[in-house]
Amino acid sequence: MKSLKHFAIFSHGFGVRKDARGIFTDIASVLPGIEPVMFDYNEINETENIITITPLRRQAEMLKEILRGVKESAPDAIVDIISHSQGAVAVALATPTEIRKTIFLAPPVGVSSGRMLAAFRSRPGAEINMEGMSKIPRRDGSITLVPADYWTDRKNLKPVQLYNTFASHTNLTIIKADHDEVLGEMNFEGLSSDVEMLSLGGDHNFTGNARRPMVEAVKGLLS
């Protein structure tokens, strides 16, 4: 009997490429038999090393388009979703159905722009324009451009409510980073009991010694 195709759709976070700085490629490497689907939400100018951010609601539409393509290519396939950071918000906004399991890695519980903007404004060369295009130098030497529509999309979003709604359509697990230097200490108050919560040591990107335990946890959840 022929086995069903199995896909893992990866949803990356703010200002990074489709591999989420290596997080997703590390996960994909331990998932034999599962076909990884990685894609860029953002526009990337390789020549000038510039990433232009796509507004969140458009990201949700892009994810839906990817999922439609997967389903059209293999209607009976098993589909899982793995997201990191703000990628969880894009997934929850899309609220796709017919997803077997979903894993959110270090997702935000709020989308207030204050902490984010304060961090960006402190960087030499940063230009913040809430009504136009913001220019943000990144630590890796790249430049991130952020259109006004991105900040507009963040307003009034309530991630925990979005996660709860999405959890009624999928088996959802959140893996929290205990030492998240990007999002800080997070309170998941109000999270549905339908959502499984795991806490792992590590920073926002599960770097260094934190990477392998996170990868193994994801492997165990999807096996």
Structural tokens at position 185:
């200490």
- CA–CA gap between residue 168 and residue 131 (Å, rounded): 36
Give me the pLDDT at residue 3, please: 74
pLDDT for 113 = 62
Q: Looking at residue 1, what is its pLDDT?
A: 47
Q: What's the pLDDT score for residue 111?
A: 63
Give all strands (DSSP E) within the chain, no chain letters. Answer: 6-11, 35-37, 43-45, 50-52, 78-84, 101-105, 133-137, 143-147, 171-177, 196-200
pLDDT at position 140 is 82
Q: Order across the sheet with 101-105: list the strands.
A: 35-37, 6-11, 78-84, 101-105, 171-177, 196-200
- At 141 the pLDDT is 85
Query: For the chain, which residues score pLDDT lower than 70?
Result: 1-2, 111-115
Which residues, at least 6 apart from 75, have a Cβ–Cβ distance to it below 8 Å? none
Question: pLDDT tens digit string along 189-214?
Answer: 999 999 999 999 999 999 999 999 99
Give the whole-angstrom CA distance, residue 107 versus residue 138.
21
Rounded Cα–Cα distance for residues 10 and 19 (Å): 8
Instruction: Give the C-alpha separation, 166 to 103, whole Å.
Output: 12
